[in-house]
Amino acid sequence: MNLLQELVSISQERYQQALTRYRIGADSGLEYKQAGIYLNSDSSSLLLQRELLKNAYIELNRLMNVPLSCRYVIEDAILPVPQLDLTELMALALEQNTSLLSIKTGERVALLDTRLAKAERLPVLRASAGYGLNFSQSPFLPAKYDQSNGLNAGLTVSLPLFRGFEINRKVANARLEAANANLELASVCQQVESELLQLYNVYVNNLRMIDFEEENREAASMNLEAAMEKYRLGSLAGIEFRDYQLSYLNASDRKLKALYQTKISEITLRLLAGELFDRSTPRDRPGH
């Protein structure tokens, strides 16, 4: 949005200069008409971007379940944090990744099932205890009654007999489930490591692209300033000046895309590592 506003401002200045030269007879009407076409084109792009921004606010409010007319002050600068550490990300991913945590839980359950199956081979000792109280009274002689009480206890030992190798089958099945869970864990670990390494390579490359595109944007900005001065002096044609405008626009757009892609890569890495929320200090980088 800010970039398009800047472009419209430059086009307005060019149009005013072309119109002034036309009025004093220093230039033909073709130049100021062409400048007006470019100004209208840039203004149209700005209006379209404003429309997209308003619709984005409406969609955001819908997702947040708040009144659709609400407006928020949203940070418009994309500042990548200091470069993430690959070793730390890898350790977090292997420890906190939700897919791995789920498989590890399944592996622990399989090991417990194996222990339970083996436990069926062991003898079972059951203990019991009780206390009894009995009171009876004669209906004919109320003064005569009997009362008895006592404590009793017992132990029962049961031994597993032959059950057609059922216990062996349970143990074998439980061991197989544990082995499968272990293999799945190793496979998913390798998959997570591979995905993280690939994403990290993209992330590092995007960080480098930010610096390259910032240099290009600064060079294009300086060229545009020089072109504007030449245009004021009448030593640069309008079509050539437009080329400098578009060059600056494209360089700035590539810088924004590099920043955006870097932030997306950073968020994806944190999500894969199970640590989405950013608690780091932003890097001191230009924001546009």
Per DSSP, the residues of 116-166 read HHHHTTS-EEEEEEEEEEEEEE-SS-TT-EEEEEEEEEEEEEE-----TTH
Four-point Cα dihedral 208, 214, 216, 220, nearest 10: 170
* Assigned domain for 142 exists: no
d(CA 160, CA 24): 113
* Assigned domain for 183 exists: yes
Q: Based on the domain organization, do 87 and 50 belong to the same domain?
A: no
Domain boundary among 59, 74, 89: 74
**pLDDT category, 235, cuts 50, 70, 90?**
confident
State which H helix or E strand residue 182 sits in.
helix 166-233
Give the single-character DSSP code of 26: S
* Assigned domain for 149 exists: no
Q: In the prediction, which pLDDT does 161 show?
A: 63
Q: Based on the domain organization, do 86 and 41 belong to the same domain?
A: no
pLDDT tens digits, residue range 237-263?
A: 888 888 999 999 999 999 989 998 998
Asked if the model's pLDDT at residue 283 lies above 60, the reply is: no
* Assigned domain for 151 exists: no
Q: Based on the domain organization, do 115 and 31 belong to the same domain?
A: no
Q: Based on the domain organization, do 96 and 211 belong to the same domain?
A: yes
Domain of residue 59 covers 1-74
Domain boundary among 12, 45, 74: 74
CATH code at 254? Answer: 1.20.1600.10
Q: Based on the domain organization, do 250 and 211 belong to the same domain?
A: yes
Tokens for 206, please give them: 């995007």
Q: How far is CA 48 from the centre of its chain?
A: 29
How many separate domains does the chain show? 2
The residue with greater pLDDT, 12 or 27, is 12
Q: Based on the domain organization, do 2 and 117 belong to the same domain?
A: no
**Region class of 8: left (phi > 0), else alpha (psi between -120 and 50), else beta:** alpha
State which amino acid sits at residue 91: A
* Assigned domain for 132 exists: no
Mean pLDDT for the stretch of residues 139-152: 60
Q: Based on the domain organization, do 7 and 66 belong to the same domain?
A: yes
Mean pLDDT for the stretch of residues 206-211: 90
Of the candidates 5, 18, 8, the residue with the CA atom closest to the CA atom of residue 38: 8
* Assigned domain for 61 exists: yes
Domain boundary among 74, 108, 132: 74
Mean pLDDT for the stretch of residues 79-101: 79
Q: Based on the domain organization, do 177 and 284 belong to the same domain?
A: yes
User: Helix 86-96 and helix 238-272: axis angle, to 10°?
Assistant: 50
Q: Across the chain, what does the average pLDDT equal?
A: 78
Q: Based on the domain organization, do 39 and 116 belong to the same domain?
A: no
* Assigned domain for 158 exists: no
* % of residues, the chain, pLDDT over 70: 76
Q: Based on the domain organization, do 4 and 68 belong to the same domain?
A: yes
Q: Based on the domain organization, do 6 and 99 belong to the same domain?
A: no
d(CA 55, CA 175): 56
Q: Based on the domain organization, do 69 and 91 belong to the same domain?
A: no
Q: In the prediction, which pLDDT does 138 show?
A: 57
* Assigned domain for 154 exists: no
